[in-house]
Amino acid sequence: MTLEVRLSQRWPGFALDAAFTAPDGVTALFGRSGSGKTTIVNAVAGLLRPQAGRIVLGGDVLLDTRAGRFVPPSARRIGYVFQDGRLFPHMDVAANLLYGRRPRRRDAAFSDVVDLLGIGALLARRPAALSGGEKSRVALGRALLSNPRLLLMDEPLAALDEARKAEILPYLERIRDTARIPILYVSHSVAEIARLATTLVTIEAGRVTGAGPVAAMLADPGAVRFLGVREAGAVLAGRIVAHHPDGLSEVAVSGGSLHLPRIALGVGHGVRLRIAAQDVILSRAAPVGLSALNILPGIVTAIRRGDGPGAMVQLACGGDLLLARITGRSADAMDLREGQPCHAIMKSVAVHPDDVGG
């Protein structure tokens, strides 16, 4: 099911003009606070009626201002996980979960979602007696149980500390992999997007500045402009091929293989690797005598110099794209050009389980 969105809305001092298409999988809306992400999601949910626009979900026209069509939120069957949970304070967890369910029974699907989110012990409690992470899980479950055709998540982790985020992320991954519905995920965390998203739409000041598969988008040297120097980095799909006795796991990627500290998943499992641009060193010659284990050969595909001393270099390693941040001075000294063979040396790699072949 595909979601097509085209919106324009004008307020004094701010204009939103956005158009994008969200295919199956997780589409992340990425942008700074105030860029218009929440406005877009609210319009998709029907909580906001934009001045002009058209929203179509799987062929079903939810909004068409020119034709005067506006489907109210209660008839859209779109689940919305709010940043602040918005659980009903006067109902216990079970009643919250069942609020959008038809029929309102604790059936097999109810048990499945309760198990998936690990909230079986909370059913009789009131929201006031839940921790932040528990509230987030219940809010997720409530949206899932309303049998939605699309799931909207507006920074569902933003209100949580790092430990609680780490607690929720695996549940989000499970939902991505088990709920067969598209998800629109608003975030300003590159780490979350790299871990969860399949498609990335970037928004700046009310406009869509880029859209595409998350791996290609994050490996775009121009991406550093909105991701920030520290956050820029490529995402690679890999597969665990062996666990070695010295405690390292071997992961095959399209351009070679990487050795990483033991990954707690079986051989054959798909993993998603995130390699920050600032953790990549480039070498023209095949490096020898280095302590770094992970070296991938590649071809320089793009170089982009920023305003400062830095430069972003994109490498094609097999079928994957890598991003390296080096200094402009190094780029000059190495005489880097597009089409040149090069070696990428990785100082650190973040690993997340992935649905790819998993």
Summarize as ranges the residues that interact with another protein (CB under 8 A).
45-47, 72-80, 82, 84, 86, 88-92, 99-100, 102, 126-129, 142-143, 146
- Main-chain dihedrals φ then ψ at residue 333, nearest 5 degrees: -60, -35
| Closest CA relative to residue 269, chosen from 352, 199, 192 | 352
Rounded to a whole number of angstroms, the minimum distance from the CB of residue 77 to another protein is 7
Query: For the sheet containing 350-353, what is the strand order?
Result: 256-261, 248-253, 233-243, 270-276, 350-353
Residue 34's contacts (CB-CB under 8 Å, 6 or more residues apart) are none
Instruction: Give the residue with the Cβ less far from another protein, 100 or 328.
Output: 100
C-alpha 233/C-alpha 350 separation (Å) is: 11
Rounded to a whole number of angstroms, the minimum distance from the CB of residue 12 to another protein is 18
Instruction: Give the residue with the Cβ less far from another protein, 111 or 147.
Output: 147
Rounded to a whole number of angstroms, the minimum distance from the CB of residue 278 to another protein is 39
Rounded to a whole number of angstroms, the minimum distance from the CB of residue 1 to another protein is 18
Cis peptide before 103 (omega within 30 of 0): yes
Instruction: Give the residue with the Cβ less far from another protein, 143 or 224.
Output: 143
| 140: amino acid identity, one letter | L
Instruction: Give the residue with the Cβ less far from another protein, 119 or 315.
Output: 119
Instruction: Give the residue with the Cβ less far from another protein, 73 or 222.
Output: 73
Rounded to a whole number of angstroms, the minimum distance from the CB of residue 100 to another protein is 3
Tokens at 38, concatenated: 């929440």
Tokens at 215, concatenated: 């791996």
Look-up of token digits 């008839």? 75
User: What DSSP letter does each residue of 109-150 carry, written as one string?
Assistant: HHHHHHHHHT-GGGTTS-GGGS-HHHHHHHHHHHHHHT--SE
Look-up of token digits 């500045």? 209
Rounded to a whole number of angstroms, the minimum distance from the CB of residue 201 to another protein is 21
Tokens at 294, concatenated: 């992970």
- Main-chain dihedrals φ then ψ at residue 147, nearest 5 degrees: 60, 55
Instruction: Give the residue with the Cβ less far from another protein, 33 or 74.
Output: 74
Instruction: Give the residue with the Cβ less far from another protein, 107 or 177.
Output: 107
Rounded to a whole number of angstroms, the minimum distance from the CB of residue 135 to another protein is 12
Positive or negative torsion for Cα 125, 91, 187, 213: positive
Rounded to a whole number of angstroms, the minimum distance from the CB of residue 114 to another protein is 17
Instruction: Give the residue with the Cβ less far from another protein, 46 or 233.
Output: 46
